Chain A
């Protein structure tokens, strides 16, 4: 009988129920889209921010100490270097897949036409096959995406070529294609780059060339790493101070989450004598932007849910007032308040679920439109959104029904049955 009454009510009140379902569709589709984007946006925003370079640097622990204590950087501060052979080990850590790009740096000073200049040796590009069989394509080119290059980038084995910062090039009147001599080694200028920073006064060359000029075979001074990270929370900040202060459970949680401090910790486990440190400015900016983006999505979800609840509330209350005589009759026939409330809630919930299913799939569509428009790629569908949306749908429908429920509870059969 209960189902028969619900079915017939739904059919009889189809225009109102369609309005309620439509409201739910709008709310759920927006919530689904925002939450899918929110959950998928972390990696996407991180990837977008990777154009601003590395967010982790690795250097020898003694060099890091000098830098930390005295603020001293560059060649001559100490004679401790990392091993080039260790660089590829970065991809072997637990969060190896989150390490998007990296490049070793060997910085030093050399003679150019009688004056001393800074040179940087690096992997302009690096192609390798890892022991796991994974193909690796990385290098400084991927970490300096903002560089404006006149000419061309150095290639992987371009040991006879160099790139020159545009300030140094104009100062020395060097052009693309010119031959220059650095510490008696002959090089051809392949490109002139504009970094917008300190590197504009430096010369970039392959790592073997720099190691040869600086007489540091197999050595690198720094490794720049670009990794996808999760914004820091209290646990990450506590771990960053001292991982040993964590309980075993906290340590496991921290270690298995892509916090920048956890990735740094894991890098130190594979790079001999290396100290990995987040480039705080970049890492924190990423976290801040990500947190603000997430907050925006959450706010939109909350506001759309409130909007839906208000609209549902109006529609349900109007429907219940219209049916007050019928519902009052049920009370007169012996229905308890809770039975009437259950009847109305069941009708609304069924309508809500129907609207929710349609809204969910529409929301997935909206998420993909947002993904394509904003990030140029599809948003991965998070299954947990179904559960969250179901909870939101339930709460929104329930909260939206509160005024109607209060009206029902106060409804006196004597008033509606005598037509007052």
Chain B
């Protein structure tokens, strides 16, 4: 590599995945960069520069002489070369699925990764894995993009200068030998058996060496609480599919943490109404700001984070937990508690009270005591031996800093632990790091923390490397790579082995050696077991055994004295979570729930609090907390508790990469290590600045159109329709003969509004499946986001405690599609299976179809949004879906490529496509199984049966467009005895 190249790479801290000529910064290269996202967007929003002015003047001259054709976008020429030697099982054009697993906050989630000719293009949940059951979430769906991120660290750096793994591993082994007991490893939590064994080996070789696991959004309070209540570290597993009443005390159990996918599914199971099962569970939620779970509540109460403890005490006292006295509550809260307690008592043994990671360990213990008092143990709540006993909160980090300051640490290995970014402002990590003689950084990105490290070792993505994981229930899963490391990155396992002096063993060697050591079988027998584990994605008989426990610890009331003033509440961002994937454009651009903000976080306040402070959305305020301050734009959130300011973590990165740098503000700097999640004494100072926040939905009032857009009913009304006037039935008449849709496959979709919590899994899954580009904040600001499926959010009722409605909206595939008749070139047409097809090649781009679409689900490529230049991003694309160019309309296709794949399979086997064989990407990802797709001509298909339900409705029914997508009326199950007023 030439020196010039290295200079460029080291100055930018990352390499462009380009040829050397490109790196010479030729004007051609620059011109190409200009057309790319997001650089292109930056160029376009610039005022006219002299250079672009001259260029365009030249072009306008050319235009005036009618030579403008050269400005047309040319289709790229491509050469297709067949395999000379066909690899086993690889059939060009057919995807293969491999089981693997991903670690989320320390716990494994089993996945199936789709591979096209050797490159992974998409991940799905593994139906055989308990944490997934075939579903996934936005975070998992977006992880594929992180692997192909051109901003990933691509080489080993020694003090910022390119080096090699051989040099690094030799240096590591030497440094480890020198440091001995002074070795410290900080990493994300990881319950991987092999890694734990490897670190165990290291600490036995160098006694005194320590592994600190730190997760800035850890659920440590939950495990600590269990330890208090049970008397020993215990893993708590909830069975929401057995609970008739759920009380969530500041817990977003359907969205937060590694169990969310499973819990979401279990919970939805209890909420789904069928003819056979006309019952549903009842959900009480008390929380400071609307969460995914909160939007589904039957009785939602907005309370300050600190007051959740008071509420918990009240419930504990009412259900008879010993030693707790009932606090006094205000009327609204008392009514909520009274109703919740009545329901809990009536459903003893069939209920769950759960609190979130944001509440203290003592409160977790108290909540377990409540469940115990209700007799929920071993029924809706089960226990197993702990999966991991390590503390993952900031405590470990604090102790480490003390050790460093005491001079006890010689070698510090930081693995994907961005502690200079994500630690609470009061720990003082930066000063401590400077005191360690050798800091080694290992990770996917050369990030904020890698600056100044003696070594940086580029990490390997989970889809590139061997490893293993343990799920929340203990099930072990093998993490199988789908592709060789793109940049020869290493896993933590390999780095730890190198520290121990083994620099030659690959991750595969280490992994297999570990599993051989625990298997107790050898040779063929082991190989067979190994192959089965690889194939299934789970290792048999590894689920943690259930244990029976009894309350042994003492629990205390947790209420703190009522405090005045403003409370600050920290939350992991719904999509970015802790911010480690901030360079992932899909996660940045997926609209956050409730606020629908993209590319930013905000200081969220309730309407009343905004009034008190004297701000409106978009005003910039200075937040000061415990002597630290940060500037943040305000966003008003209906349904949030008053006197509470909610800030989301995961933003304000400075060295995330081209996408993630400078997005939002860094809320970690405000955080205090004593209470990671909330605290009193926030000072908000209004500034004169304003800031433009981009939201994908500006209007959240249904404007009295509920009947046509979002129908909701109480369960009682639904079961006894005779008490209430039914929805008006519209006589569908047409002047023209109807097309005969009674033959063949007729595709249709049904979305259950009872199950949807707006988690965005479908949005990102659709983006991954259908090669949907991101457009950047500036384009979202002018209303040009590209998502084919979106989650609309509406508020209804009192802005202080509104009902919150979320509804996924994608192309409805209307039988009388209004888009089709207005297209002058027949680029959007109907097929005989009821699909509203979009013929990209034929599209001229009049946008008339979008104007005539009442659902506004069509998306237009106003610019060349798709990056057709960056090689790594090209690899990610789904080869079954056309990549759209500038000037073309696009929209949901019902995943026509999946329909056709199933059709080809069925044709080859001379049979019909069976129900469940075609699964749309959104349906497949949905953790709560809210989306069902299939053949509506087949009366036995799931979708047909759902569509036969009385409570089904189609959106904007009076327009007579006959959409193929229908919705199940949102049903709520409020307590008829409830006297107060909540949602």
The answer to whether A and B interact is no
Q: Which residues of B contact A (CB under 8 A)?
A: none
